[in-house]
Amino acid sequence: MFPETQDTILAVSTPAGRSFHAVIRISGPEAIPSIKEIFVPSTNIKPENIQTFTAIKGRIELPAELLTIPVVLYIMKHPHSYTREDVVEIHTVGAKPIVEIILHAILRKKTGIKQGIRLSRPGEFTKRAFLHGRIDLAQAEAIKNIIRSQSDSELDSAILQLSGNTSKQIKYIQNEITSLCAYIETSIDFSDQDIELISRLEMTDKMERIKDAIVHLINKSPVDKIFSEEINTVLYGKPNAGKSSLVNALLGKKRAIVSDRPGTTRDTVTGVLRIGNVNFRLMDVAGVDDAKEHVFPEAGEKAQSALKNAHVILLVFDGSAKINLQLMKMNLNEVANSVIIVINKCDLTPDHSAFELPDELKKYPFVFTSALTGEGLDRLKSQLLDKVLEGQINQSNTLPFFNVHQKNALQRSYERVEQAIASCRDNMSDEFVVLDMRMAADILGEIVGEITTEDILDKIFCEFCIGK
């Protein structure tokens, strides 16, 4: 029993907002006692005598509120439930006040309850399913993907993952590694007796095949789709902040016209910057100013439309002028997307020690740059890449088969196998080979859930919605 699963948890598991019907889900040792006093079945049966997986009609009676609410109760007794605990679901009408009254009634119930009942945290039902061995981590990730999926193909790949297909493939590779390690370790034990259980050639051959299998998994991940799509990156800021100069400096060529006259850029100028595997389409748009000041209104319209379609927005400021004054002219409502603050012309203000961002901007990452000297450009590039790798960029249809965390694990495992192969080729002793291969298998374990470090688990499950 995990200490945190001793509580009984409770949540509305239908989406918030208007809906025809609502489901309140309760899981834990007190799930059945918690509704005993308030639920009155239509037939003469007590909740504890209801068979598992049966639905029973009845009503919730709340004399204090003078309310009688028609409900259907579903009872799933442990271990035959999603969480492997006793689960009660109350299906009722989808009216928010009614749902809230029922939640309060259950939470305030104290008589006959031995352990606590509380509202669940996001993903806690699924976390319990995982802790009780009902599902593995890859399946938990798949559930999250199903909840978040927006297209049929995303849903298909999430369902495939839920069926345990991914886990099976990963476990297969892990088994291959473990059995190879067992061979090598036995050879080490017998090394003084001149018995060769497995030749170096066979070892490398097996490791190459394991490496190929991992590569296959990495490549099948549609996360690569992100890399084949361009990330629309708009530079937004006051005239003369140095947007066109930055575009030229980042691209390493003169793509946009630069001049010291504010309002130089009229049309949207674009160019593709490749960082790592990702293509960023840099869009240098007309500088923001009061719309009425636009000499060419179309320039302003084009800039607005670029902003709307941006995946990332670089808010560019002239670091040698007052940031607040520049900010006043900008319409931050337009920049709901992923933002990086760029303080340009830092060559003109070499001392940054007293620099402070206005409060509205403090939530964004920021970087000092100089389009003139090239300072800070590498930092800006790595921040752009981070935005993609950390999955902060909202693009349709790019939900990965593996998420960034899993994909990273596959990559690290692959590197360990490569290291083991290199050790083999360099005639290093078997101990080195085994060490790397064991690590490769452990890392794969992160995907199928053999690590249970609390913080990693919490990180995964807190991304769920409440009630799932």
Q: 230-237 and 117-119: which strand pairing?
A: unpaired
The answer to whether residue 233 forms part of the interface with ligand GTP (CB under 6 A) is no
Residues 117 and 109 sit within 8 Å (Cβ to Cβ):
yes
The answer to whether residue 372 forms part of the interface with ligand GTP (CB under 6 A) is yes
**DSSP state, 306?**
H
Virtual torsion, Cα 431, 434, 436, 438, nearest 10 deg: -140
The answer to whether residue 244 forms part of the interface with Mg ion (CB under 5 A) is yes
| Sites for ligand GTP among residues 419-438 (CB under 6 A) | none
Main-chain dihedrals φ then ψ at residue 10, nearest 5 degrees:
-145, 135
The answer to whether residue 33 forms part of the interface with ligand GTP (CB under 6 A) is no
Contact range with Mg ion by CB under 5 A, out of 3-11, 247-255, 262-270, 434-442: 262-270
Pick one of ligand GTP, Mg ion, none as the site partner of residue 370 (Cβ within 5 to 8 A by kind): ligand GTP
CB of 258 to ligand GTP, least distance (A): 4
The answer to whether residue 248 forms part of the interface with Mg ion (CB under 5 A) is no
Cα(294)–Cα(288) distance, rounded to whole angstroms? 9
Q: 278-284 and 230-237: which strand pairing?
A: parallel
Of 389, 436, 393, the closest CA to residue 414 belongs to 436
The answer to whether residue 265 forms part of the interface with Mg ion (CB under 5 A) is yes
The answer to whether residue 260 forms part of the interface with ligand GTP (CB under 6 A) is yes
| Sites for ligand GTP among residues 342-371 (CB under 6 A) | 344-345, 347-348, 370-371
The answer to whether residue 271 forms part of the interface with ligand GTP (CB under 6 A) is no
| Sites for ligand GTP among residues 63-92 (CB under 6 A) | none
- Return all residues near 8 (Cβ < 8 A) that are at least 6 apart: 26, 27, 28, 29, 30, 31, 34, 115, 116, 117, 118
Virtual torsion, Cα 421, 422, 425, 429, nearest 10 deg: -90
CA angle 116, 121, 450 (to 5 degrees): 100
Pick one of ligand GTP, Mg ion, none as the site partner of residue 304 (Cβ within 5 to 8 A by kind): none
CB of 235 to ligand GTP, least distance (A): 8
Of 130, 106, 128, 129, the closest CA to residue 118 belongs to 106
CA 424 distance to own-chain centroid? 37
How is residue 462 written in tokens?
């807190």
For Mg ion, how many residues bind (rule: CB under 5 A)? Answer: 3
Pick one of ligand GTP, Mg ion, none as the site partner of residue 393 (Cβ within 5 to 8 A by kind): none
The answer to whether residue 287 forms part of the interface with ligand GTP (CB under 6 A) is yes
Residue from 33, 239, 376, 449 in contact with ligand GTP (CB under 6 A): 239
Closer residue to ligand GTP (CB): 259 or 324: 259
CB of 244 to Mg ion, least distance (A): 3
Q: Which residues are near Mg ion by CB under 5 A?
A: 244, 264-265
What is the contact surface with ligand GTP in residues (CB under 6 A)? Answer: 239-245, 258-260, 262-265, 287, 344-345, 347-348, 370-372
